[in-house]
Structure 1
């Protein structure tokens, strides 16, 4: 019986691998990594294609890349950990912590709270300024390479780097160099959903001020280390750069290595093998037995906190993985009930979602910009993972029960 079930699992994994390898023949994606998990373990994880296409270096389950806005989910977990430690409260006004004043100039009397930041209802908006300031090339020698790319305007030379707090002050404070009233909506804080990277980074900065630790140190201590995500980190000097993938444009050009001044909003460097451990923890937390936070904190993390009145337009039910359909604390709820986050940055597209009904989750990391055909391939890969998730989960349960 046990041998039969083990053979069934191997057969399912081999079949899935064959199907996923087939997508590489379409040529729209250089490399990608996938994982399927439940709350107890990783059911499947593997890399496909290449991290360096010219040298034919394989993309593996341990290949590292930045994962864009999926990183934001760690801010929600970190906020609740700091709240459990008595360092802050989600309902606190943000100016209780900040060394500079942040207030909506159109609604001076309405305070912005930490929860407003965590649900993207703070009335802060990114505009074009965020994209033109936050991305920093790791090497000044890549300037000519960056200029040759369509997205070159997004990359700044290393001498433009600055501390996260200085960036936020410049953007949000009346004393800031880039301050403009248009950095805020005319809506009152708490009124309207407006997805904002700057607001997310401000929440991470408040964690620093409340705990006395950098955000990178706090999340490493309270999230990455407890989950044994030993390959992951927030900076290039804390990870094994030999495992980093190169990132590519739609037409296969190499994108310069870059970092984000606002790194909490999109700069986690990780692999599908490491991130699978984190996704399993989220499913455990949703199920009431998480390891990082208390049951009540996880309930707060996953609560659907918005209503249709928080959205300017009707929410799009035709996009099944629209993570802006509703919001917990830096984690999205989709129209079909999945929980998680998507991400996109130059050369990066990522999905991390789990189904709260069957307690199964999936990851997909891609190292290439996506045009329409690439996006179709991305979703086809995702759908293929979905076709195998239940069978793999049931086979593993059957094997465990037979032991």
Structure 2
């Protein structure tokens, strides 16, 4: 009899726990649905055609979704599986790939880059001072973006309405015809090799390598080329093997042939006028094609890595990735805004003045950002598919970010009860 009472008590407790878990899971789903409803309302008032978001804590994805319109031709909805390029947020993968290559014994951060490159890259003002991989990854290499970077990197996908599209004003950059598509090695050789056809002396600062922070897209892409030459694997293949596949980012890739084009969004000049499809000759610095659903997996991994339970890199490598590498003397004009990612640098990840970290990006019709609030253990992603109207961007961002912050607190609390 005593045994039957004991078994009954255990069964009652298990049933009660199961019911509690179900109730908490339902509350979690209802809270997500509340956020979806409120962001849907916001999407009808903001000055962009469509946008995607994601929220994580250090344990799980709390939310990901998309809102608005991806295609004005078909009125296709922007959703969590909608794909677009994420602009310079792509650079954060360069740092992960670099540290993975170091773990594999293929390179060291303080190696000179000319140890690996097929053409010499030398600052003409300091020819005896070698540029190192670490300097590339922290934007202190002294390499400077020139007019040729701005005017040669963006390439149209096809020749539809070519003459008209080539005239579109996307200053300071410009569109190039599909025939201008070239490998990153050829592009960088043209710009950085003294014998290259686009070489300019002002492609380098008159500062010693390692001395001064100067954000460089060319330097970021050169880091990817170093990874290629050190590992013997193309950068797109290396990052797919060691980042995208392990995280099950199955909708993501670096080129149009790697994604499902039916989920690809147009980008827009304004809420009515689409841009033509384009890609980048310097694809490592801004060309990752991905969805909010996949990006939620990526920012979750970065958050886990910061708190020493990431899966892509060792604890030691993640510590290096997130270690602020620079000092006050490395800056001529230091950005001190709370949400600026240029107060300090890790290995391609940026830090704000409060110590929070992330990266922002922008290309024609694209504005993107990942940001991590370390004390809250909150990771946040936002991307839009439209050139943001300067008159509305401030209030639009407040409307979106305030909801994400409010519902992060609710979802985070609920996630810990589950």
Structural mapping, 1:386-401, within 5 Å: 386-399=405-418
Could you tell me which residue of structure 1 aligns to residue 121 of structure 2?
Answer: 102
The answer to which of 384-393 and 297-306 deviates more is 384-393
Match of 2:274 among 239, 254, 259: 254
Equivalent residues of 2:49, 2:270 under 8 A apart: no
SS at match of 2:176: coil
From 333, 336, 340, give the equivalent of 2:358: 340
Structure 2 residue 251 is the aligned partner of structure 1 residue 231: yes
Summarize the Cα distance change of 1:373–1:2 in structure 2 as closer, same or farther, 3 Å threshold: farther
* 1:303 correspondence with 2:323: yes
Deviations, residues 276-303 of structure 1 (Å, cap 9, x unaligned) = 1111111111111111110000000000
Q: TM-score scaled by structure 2?
A: 0.92
**Deviation readout 1:188-217 (Å, 9 max, x if unpaired):** 111110001000000000000001110000
Alignment partner of 1:122 is 2:132:
no
- How many residue pairs end up in the alignment? 397
124-133 vs 238-247, which moves further: 124-133
Superposed displacement of residue 3, structure 1: 4.4
- Identify the match of residue 284 of structure 1 among 281, 304, 308: 304
Answer with 1 or 2: which has the greater Rg: 2
Distance 2:164 2:323 in 1: 44
- 1:88-237 → structure 2 map (5 Å cutoff): 88-147=107-166, 149-151=168-170, 154-237=174-257
Q: Please tell me whether the aligned partners of residues 145 and 255 of structure 1 are also in contact (alpha carbons under 8 angstroms).
A: no
Map 1:36-115 onto structure 2 (within 5 A). 36-115=55-134
Q: Residues of 2 paired with 1:9 and 1:251: CA distance? A: 33
RMSD of aligned residue pairs (Cα, Å): 1.5
1: distance between equivalents of 2:224 and 2:21? 48
| Alpha-carbon contact 1:308-1:315 (below 8 Å) kept | no
Q: TM-score, normalised by structure 1?
A: 0.95
- Give per-residue Cα distances to partners, 1:43-83, cap 9 Å, x unaligned: 11111001013422110101000000000000000000000
Q: How far off is 1:19 after superposition?
A: 2.1
Secondary structure of the corresponding residue to residue 382 of structure 1 = helix
> How far is 1:337 from its partner?
2.3
CA distance in 2, matches of 1:234, 1:37: 24
Compare 284-293 and 76-85 and name the one that shifted more: 284-293
Does 2:401 match 1:382? yes
8 A contact 1:29–1:374 mirrored in 2: no
Query: CA offsets per residue over residues 68-114 of structure 1, 9 Å max, x none?
Result: 00000000000000000000000000000111110111111111000
What is the match of residue 47 of structure 2? 28
More off after superposition, 373-382 vs 262-271: 373-382
Note the C-alpha offset of 1:392: 0.6
Distance verdict in 2 for CA 1:103–1:235, change over 3 Å: same
Per the TM alignment, residue 22 of structure 1 is displaced from its structure 2 partner at its CA by 2.0
Quote the offset at 1:11 in angstroms. Answer: 3.4
5+ residue gaps, structure 1, are none
State the alpha-carbon separation in 1 of the partners of residues 45 and 247 from structure 2.
36
> 1:358 aligns to what?
376
Q: Is the Cα–Cα contact under 8 Å of residues 145 and 256 in structure 1 kept in the other structure?
A: no
**Which structure 2 residue ranges, 5 or more long, are not aligned?**
1-19
Partner of 1:140, secondary structure, is coil
Deviations 1:307-339 (A, max 9, x none): 1111111432xx321111110000011123221
